[in-house]
Amino acid sequence: LIVAIFSALVLALLTVYKAFHRFQLRMRGITEDDVAYRRVVTGQSWEEFCDTLKAAGTAVIGHNSPKDPLNQAEGYRYLARLTRVALENFLECADPLSPQLVALANGNRQCRVCIGSDNPDNLYQNAVIDSRRTYRVRGSRGTVNYLGFGVQSGSYGAPGGLRTVDYKEASELKMQPHAKGKDAGSSPSSSLSSSSSSSSSSPTIEIYIVPEGEHPPPGIPTTNILRSRPQLSEEGLFIVRQTFARRSKELPAELSIEVVSPKGDTASSPPRASPSLSPSNRARERKVPAAEKEADSGLVPIRKFTPKALDAGLSKAGLLVAGASNMFSRWASGFKSNHVNKLPLFDQKTSDSVGGDPNIRYYHSYWEIGEDEALVIDAKPPKCQTWNFQLNNHWMESLDYRFHNIHTNKFLARYRKDGSVRVIVSHR
């Protein structure tokens, strides 16, 4: 209760501060755009971004972090990875009028990025949204074992963090049989386009994200409506969590997102859904002249990039790098100080407060074994849709599961007669 009251108070203070700051600017005849222009042309935006990245290095050299060369190198590589993906998310894919589903954490991509004990069985995706607008999410269900959708208030890189305000699993939705042809839905997002031909018989999903207090489009079942809460923050995220049982044998959901009520927009044409970036689509984008792109319905319209967008994007990117690295480093240091080679239940409120899945219970700890030792974990998993066990490094990145056996789950493990499993961690 105390934590909830404190969080509400902080949020209220931030809201009041923002309103007061805008009032001060209006009284002085200055707009927020004017402030951003000044910060960009003087170099202040870039300098603050670089200063924030420099400050993020304290997570690597801080108290209780490993000081050997390999772990230090991994720590700085982790910061570089966070920087890369933060810029992708907050500069390149940050327009709520042309939302794109992107993966903030993806250990399967060629240039992998891992954050906060990312699950090797998961595909994490998110799209920046404006909580005041209505969005439509469409696509094929695929065969992935678990599929969940959520709306979060706030931003990864903004003060106040993230708060999950609505969440639904695919099993709760009403779906339609696959529709062939033009009405089958928008093209899939970039990371999922390769399996489109194999999922032609998958049920079709259609979800609407509607601001709290507003009426959804007619004829949409309430089961297929997620609510955003603009009174908490105008910024928001739509998140997709896909959890595979046997990743090599399942097809992911193929989804796209688009604005259907561009509130306050003056554009002559409505924003379009995010396109597939399949090889053929990429080739088409290279060949089509710029003047013809707007007429091609398969391409996202070019958004108007502004100094304000750069200023905000650099600020959020820097905050993500510094905030995520320091938070997870503190977590790991706490595990190391309090329970090495044990596996206690993690605090659910803490998990929820940073955007964790509210339907998952997490167990975290620090592990440490010698060259001639093995860590033996015996467990009897409860009845649940799935569970997994995985190994992370100190920076809470999952170890590279593309090339090494670093995890198991409900469907891969071998069970003993009493339903228990034994997991052995060793160097060989």
- Who's near 375: CB < 8 A, 6+ residues apart? 341, 367, 369, 424, 425, 426
C-alpha closest to that of 241 among 153, 355, 148, 152:
148
Radius of gyration of the chain (CA): 23
CA angle 273, 278, 281 (to 5 degrees): 70
Compute the distance between CA of residue 127 and CA of residue 259 in angstroms, rounded to an integer. Answer: 12
**pTM of the entire structure?**
0.76
C-alpha closest to that of 65 among 324, 323, 326:
326
DSSP for 328-380 reads: HHHHHHHHHHH-BT--PBPPHHHHHHTT--TT---B--B----TT-EEEEEE-
Compute the distance between CA of residue 339 and CA of residue 112 in angstroms, rounded to an integer. Answer: 29
DSSP for 139-157 reads: EE--S-SEEEEEEEEE-TT
Compute the distance between CA of residue 164 and CA of residue 25 in angstroms, rounded to an integer. Answer: 32
| 8 A C-beta contact, residue 112 and residue 106 | yes
Compute the distance between CA of residue 332 and CA of residue 235 in angstroms, rounded to an integer. Answer: 29
C-alpha closest to that of 316 among 186, 154, 113, 109:
154
Compute the distance between CA of residue 112 and CA of residue 240 in angstroms, rounded to an integer. Answer: 19
Strand 225-228 and strand 235-243: the pairing is: unpaired
Tell me the residue length of the chain: 428
What integer pLDDT is reported at residue 278 of this predicted model?
40
What integer pLDDT is reported at residue 205 of this predicted model?
93
**Dihedral sign for Cα atoms in the order 339, 393, 150, 143:** negative
DSSP for 284-306 reads: HHHHS-HHHHTT-TTSPPPP---
pLDDT in tens, 315-364: 989 988 998 999 999 999 999 999 999 999 999 888 887 777 778 899 99
What integer pLDDT is reported at residue 110 of this predicted model?
86
Strand 225-228 and strand 204-211: the pairing is: parallel
Collect the ranges in the chain with pLDDT lower than 50. Answer: 1-8, 10-11, 181-199, 264-302
Compute the distance between CA of residue 406 and CA of residue 359 in angstroms, rounded to an integer. Answer: 24
Residue 160: left (phi > 0), alpha (psi -120 to 50), or beta? left
pLDDT in tens, 105-122: 888 888 899 999 999 999
Angstrom CA distances, 19 to 13, 101, 244, 308, stand at 10, 31, 44, 18
Q: What φ, ψ does residue 99 adopt, rounded to 5°?
A: -65, 145
- Who's near 339: CB < 8 A, 6+ residues apart? 365, 366
Compute the distance between CA of residue 343 and CA of residue 357 in angstroms, rounded to an integer. Answer: 19
